Amino acid sequence: MDLKSGYPFWAIKNGLMRTFPALDHNIVCDVAIIGGGITGALIADDLSSNGYAVAIIEQRDIGWGSTAASTALLQYEIDTHLTELAALYGEVDALKAYRACAEAITDLQTLAETVGDVDFEMQDSLYYASRRRDKQPLKDEFLLRQKHGFDVEWLEPDGIKKQYGFKSSGAILSKKAARIDPYRLTHKLLDRMQSSGHHVYDRTEIKNLKPSAEQVELTTTSGFKISCQSVVMATGYSSQKWLKQKVASNRSSYAFITDPIDPELLGELNRTMMWESARPYLYMRTTGDGRLLVGGEDDDIDISAKRDKRVDKKARTLANKVEKLFPKLPMNPTFSWAGTFAETEDGLPFFGPHKQYGERVQFAMAYGGNGITYSMIGAGLLRANIEQREHPLAELFSFSRLD
């Protein structure tokens, strides 16, 4: 599956940080993780630091899937409002999901500090009303979050204009969000894992998986076998092809990055990421070297040939939208790209076994706008599943939602 188009910034900036060997013999391990993106890396890191012999198998180069295309805003704010999630699953479960996402940001901060040099920074997040009619739903969302102790502030038009310089009828300012270079984090985690004796293979594709009562056997396209107790399918947006049941829809999402911009001109954008209430939403955040990274303009369906052709035009449209909000910012899309982006109907991910394969095969489908935050939660959740322990989100994030 072709996951991206154009020139994703992280891959250009960092290049191939490291290559790993292809698998050329049969191996045995506790847990085999298929997919060497940010999800596979976070899960592998958690399992390997908790005593499991782990092997990670990637068909491309490490981080070269949608991880390289991610704009990597780390938010506890799920694309589905807390109010909507509460209406769907009840306030208790909705809060569990939101709170776990907030904790995941702290966990990612700790991890980023441990590995170092991954362009991590804590930020504020401004969620503004795109249209006047969006003000009330946003205000309701603010009130519910405030009631449950989230560190949020409500901004009226005057405050938005004064602090951020653009017009909107209302906005929620959240004090907990962060930005990161997800490609760098993936490489650093897997490099650390390899150095401590675990196995990382790239250029190795799994074509078959056979679970039995005692183990799972994986076969690569070159015919080598991996025997393990459990498998984690961290295969990103191509995971759907392993399942007969349709669990998500693929879209195309677009992004561009500017040259470094004078911090004076960036103003509050230096420490605040922004997104809006319209769907698909326009969003933006800065990088450590002062660039503005902008995304949005999603297509409803993902056709890679169409996506390839649309990258420049979509980047221009995104740049025009930013210019309208911030006319003084120089908008030069230095690198533009697009990626496949999958969404579930309720905005929640799927982590856990699917009845098609049984308990030994754990899926890690971190779908939706805060996929990376979900992957951090998923790491602990899947280890709990493997150890047959309870996890507060195991049920809500499981495929049983579809039954």
Ligand X SMILES: Cc1cc2nc3c(=O)[nH]c(=O)nc-3n(C[C@H](O)[C@H](O)[C@H](O)COP(=O)(O)OP(=O)(O)OC[C@H]3O[C@@H](n4cnc5c(N)ncnc54)[C@H](O)[C@@H]3O)c2cc1C
Q: Which stretch binds ligand X (CB under 6 A): 23-31, 53-61, 81-89, 321-329?
A: 53-61
Using CB positions, name the residue nearest to ligand X: 371
In this complex, which beta carbon is closest to ligand X, that of residue 266 or of residue 364? 364
CB neighbourhood size of 92 (10 A): 9
Residues contacting residue 154 through CB under 8 Å, at least 6 positions apart: 139, 142, 146, 170, 171, 172, 173
* Residue that has been written with the tokens 């006047």 in this structure: 132
DSSP structural state of residue 220: E
Binding flag, residue 32, ligand X (CB under 6 A)? no
Q: Which stretch binds ligand X (CB under 6 A): 66-74, 109-117, 223-231, 324-332?
A: 66-74
Nearest distance from residue 15's CB to ligand X, in Å? 16
Q: First-to-last CA distance in the chain?
A: 28
Residues contacting residue 239 through CB under 8 Å, at least 6 positions apart: 233, 363, 364, 365
Both structure tokens of 28? 């045995």
Binding flag, residue 362, ligand X (CB under 6 A)? no
Q: Which stretch binds ligand X (CB under 6 A): 92-100, 143-151, 232-240, 327-335?
A: 232-240
Q: Which residue among 206, 216, 269, 311 contacts ligand X (CB under 6 A)? A: 206
- Alpha helices, H only, 70-229: 82-89, 91-115, 135-147, 157-164, 182-195
Residues contacting residue 96 through CB under 8 Å, at least 6 positions apart: 392, 393, 396
CB neighbourhood size of 358 (10 A): 12
Binding flag, residue 287, ligand X (CB under 6 A)? no
In this complex, which beta carbon is closest to ligand X, that of residue 141 or of residue 181? 181
Site string for ligand X, 311-350 (x = CB under 6 A): ----------------------------x-x---------
Residues 253-272 that bind ligand X (CB under 6 A): 253, 255
Interface residues with ligand X (CB under 6 A) are 3, 34-40, 57-60, 64-67, 69-73, 205-206, 234-236, 238, 253, 255, 295, 339, 341, 366, 370-373
